[in-house]
Structure 1
Amino acid sequence: MFATATKNFVEQVDRGGSLIPVSSLNDNVSLLTVVVKHKPSWMWQKPKYIPTDFKLNDILTGDTPINPVIIETDFIKFDGKYSDSIQGNMDAKFIRANVSAEGKESSKLQSSFGSLKKEEVDVQKLLRDCKDRVLDMSHSLIQQTKGKQKQTFGIVKERVLTTQPSSVIVEVQQGGECEGGLSLCKPKVPNITIVSLKDTGSLNKDTNVTMEIPVHTALAYALIELEIKKDGRYELCLMSDTAGGFEVDGCAMEELLEESGALETALKTTAADES
């Protein structure tokens, strides 16, 4: 319910942009929160984002924390209404039986978020603060993530927040009918029916749920991905077309090349050059 509302919000205000919808009210998404990005296996799939319980300062070495400059601006006022309707039927006839079914469902979602604000980290200052800083490569979160080739780190650089109590309302109406009949005829006397059964059933269900959203609830956020070296040094990926990740050693790189078929091509090219 909340995830659907935030997804619709992002599609309306930033389709194809950098904003990522918050999928759960239980997600702790604040500025500089570390988010694990799961890269998709196939090109038509979308990445998955899992906010963690840690911030950038939690996985850095040293005792000096990074204190970012935060810029607050008014964003937009947002109220959205969405509706869907689905209807279908089925009718099947057999020699001595027939079945018919019909179902329909309609849903309405209303998101009343009101006036929203945006919080952003001053990226230029963040760059200066991150210079010469090193990640603690022994940290459990890093240890559990770096060995997985399709996972990388990002830190929250901006987020969109509510500034007043708001709500999400969902109304669902479901209905269905089913009817079936069975006729049995006396053997060798096709025109005489000795048993005739008929059954009719229906189901109707209405659902109305209201969710109250507190002030300062994050609806969406944007990330800066991290390019992490083996020794813990890292760089911020400032361009949207630059992906982060963990530096891999020679063996891991060889495995990646073997999987993609690139290693075989490289060996053939090398052999041709030597001859």
Structure 2
Amino acid sequence: MSSKVPPIILNNGVEMPQLGFGVWQVPNDEAEQAVATALEAGYRSIDTAAAYGNEEGTGKALAKSGVARQDLFITTKLWNTDQGYDSTLRAFDESLDRLGLDYVDLYLIHWPLPARGTFVETYKAFETIYSDGRAKAIGVCNFLPEHLDELSGATNVVPAVNQIELHPFLQQLPDRKYNAERGIAIEAWSPLGRGQGLLEVPAITAIAQKHGRTPAQVVLRWHLQLGNIVIPKSVTPSRIKENIEVFDFSLDADDIAAISALNEDRRLGPDPATFNLV
């Protein structure tokens, strides 16, 4: 099945599907089936990470899918314990081996770990990987403006993507503006609010009823119309299919305003300013 997902053009000209499939918290032995289902439904962007422990299962699904490599967009991430120049290069090789790939389309630093102070030298290893053509684009996750400022003063390649927690309860407007001004695409993790009641909020359910859609489809459509890249995760085949069926309707200005009014600056995950787990 071909993909119906439009691309975002990253700052280096690489095309990245605006909607992809995330495999966070999917066990390795379930990842192969989940990714296979997603590919069959039309997803072409798959987001995994070394820390997820499912690169191998993800890679098996890619190998068996019959989808040409150039039609896939594969993202993985460097875990915190591997930060540092040489250790990053080793960890990247290991991720490629587990995925069964010669290159990835996007490689991301998972967390800045500000107390450790190693993200600049880590990113310099990313620049080496990028210049060698083994990652078509490089970027970061969970980087605040101060982390990006430090990075820009010491490195040469502007991150293509910053993957951050972003959903209607945490809309990150200042950070989105900061990244947009620098040509860094925003990718939302936990775009559906991770089961915190977002999909039962009356404003969301009313918009869903109005459009004959599910609440999840409404929230994903909100992200897309804001220009965010999204990577919803599910292991339920019906939901995997449902989450990609969001390109044949649009929210109007009133819908967008109603969802934008839900912001509480409420994090569901760690604060990147203080999270330093290694």
TM-score (norm 1): 0.20
Q: Which protein has the bigger helix share?
A: 2
TM-score by length of 2: 0.20
Which structure's CA Rg is the greater one? Answer: 1
Bigger share in strand: 1
